[in-house]
Amino acid sequence: MATRVFSDEELEGLRSFPAIGKDELIRYFTLTPADEAFLRKFRRAQNVLGAAVQLSTLPWLGFVPDEVPAAPPAAVGRLARQLGLAVADLAGYGEREQTRTDHLREVAEYLGWKQPKAIEHKELDEFLLARAMEHDAPSLLFRLGCEYLRSAKAIRPGVVVLLERVAAARTTAEAETHARVAHLLTGERAAGLDGLLGAAGGTMGRAVAGVGRQGRSRWPGRRGHGRRDPAAPRALGQGDAELGEQQAPGLLGDAEQFGVARGQLAVGGACMAVE
C-alpha cells in the first residue's frame, strides 16, 4: 500500500499540528491590521479565533488539520492576545465540519490559496515525475511534493492521496528509466557487465528482460533495493590490466559508455543519479 511509506504514528503526525518554534510562531502567527479586519467579520469569538488559527496555519503547513483546537497552545495564545479574546474561546470550534470548511474556503480566498484542481494535479504529477527520476525514496518525494504545493499556494490533499501520486510517479519513472537504457544493454554487454560486477545468474540480463517489472535497484552500483554496492564503483573504474585476461577486449569501455549514457539521461533538469 502507498501509505506503508510511513508508520501509523508518522501518518497521524502528517495529519496533525507539529510542534512550533519561536521563529515560526512570529512569522506565521502575527496578524496584520488587514488580517484582523478580515477576521472580525466572523463575529462570534469562537469563529474569529478559529478562523485566525486557520489563516495562520495554512501558510505554515500548507493545509489545516481537522482538529483546529489542537493547534499549539503558544500559537493560539498569541492570536488570542492580538484579537483581545480568550484562549478558551477556541474550544468546540469545528465541531460542525461545514463551518470549518466554509471558513477555510474564505481564508484560502483571502490569502490567494486554492484547492488543487485538474491543472494543479497535472503540474504536481509532472513535478513528482521529474523528482522521481532523481530520487527513489518515497518519503523524500512526499516531502518535496508538500513543498511544491506550498510554494504554488495549493492546499495539500490528504496524506494518502499524495502518497498515491508519489507511487504513480515512481512507477512511471522506473518504466521511463528502463526504456532509456534498454538499448544500451545488448546481450553481450549485459553478460560482460554481470561479469565485471561479479553478479550471479545474469542479473543485468534479467533487468533488461524485466523492463517494467524490475526496479532500479538492479542497476550496476546497487545491491538490493536502494543500497549501493561499494565494490561497484571500483570495478567500473579499474583499468584493463586489473580486469584479468579472461575479460573480453573493450568490455571496460562498454561499462564506461553505459555509465556515461546513464548519467546523461536528463530531461527538463531531471537526471537519473545512482545514489
pLDDT, residue 2, reads: 58
On whether both 107 and 21 belong to a single domain, the answer is yes
What the block records as the C-alpha cell of 5 is 511509506
Q: Flag whether the pTM goes above 0.85.
A: no
On whether both 166 and 188 belong to a single domain, the answer is no
pLDDT, residue 82, reads: 96
Tell me the per-residue pLDDT of 151-201, one tens digit each, with 9 for 90 and over. Answer: 999 999 999 999 999 999 999 999 988 888 888 877 788 788 788 876 444
Q: Which residues contact 23 (CB under 8 A, 6 or more apart)?
A: none
On whether both 26 and 46 belong to a single domain, the answer is yes
What the block records as the C-alpha cell of 236 is 567500473
pLDDT, residue 1, reads: 56
Residue 69 has pLDDT above 50, yes or no: yes
Q: Which residue has the cell 546523461?
A: 264
Q: How many domains does the chain have?
A: 3
Q: Which residues contact 226 (CB under 8 A, 6 or more apart)?
A: 136, 137, 217, 275
On whether both 141 and 216 belong to a single domain, the answer is no
On whether both 207 and 266 belong to a single domain, the answer is yes
On whether both 90 and 123 belong to a single domain, the answer is no
* 48 confidence band (pLDDT: 50, 70, 90): very high
On whether both 186 and 235 belong to a single domain, the answer is yes
- For 267, phi and psi rounded to 5 degrees? -135, 125
Question: Residue 222 and residue 275: Cα distance in Å, rounded?
Answer: 8
Q: Which residues contact 178 (CB under 8 A, 6 or more apart)?
A: 207, 208, 211, 212, 214
On whether both 27 and 80 belong to a single domain, the answer is yes
Tell me the per-residue pLDDT of 117-140, one tens digit each, with 9 for 90 and over. Answer: 899 999 999 999 999 999 889 999
Range of the domain at 229: 180-271
On whether both 153 and 190 belong to a single domain, the answer is no
Tell me the per-residue pLDDT of 70-117, one tens digit each, with 9 for 90 and over. Answer: 999 999 999 999 999 999 999 999 888 899 999 999 999 999 999 988
Tell me the per-residue pLDDT of 212-264, one tens digit each, with 9 for 90 and over. Answer: 334 444 444 344 444 444 444 433 344 433 444 444 444 444 444 444 333 33
pLDDT, residue 187, reads: 79
Question: Residue 89 and residue 109: Cα distance in Å, rounded?
Answer: 24
Encoded amino acid at 54, one letter:
Q
Among candidate residues 111, 137, 152, the one where a domain is terminated:
111
Alpha-helix runs per DSSP H in 112-228? 118-132, 138-151, 159-181, 187-197, 203-209
On whether both 49 and 64 belong to a single domain, the answer is yes
On whether both 42 and 126 belong to a single domain, the answer is no
Task: Enter the DSSP assignment of 248.
Answer: P
Residue 33 has pLDDT above 70, yes or no: yes
Question: Residue 112 and residue 252: Cα distance in Å, rounded?
Answer: 56
On whether both 192 and 251 belong to a single domain, the answer is yes
Sign of the CA dihedral with 54 first, then 58, 63, and 65 last: negative
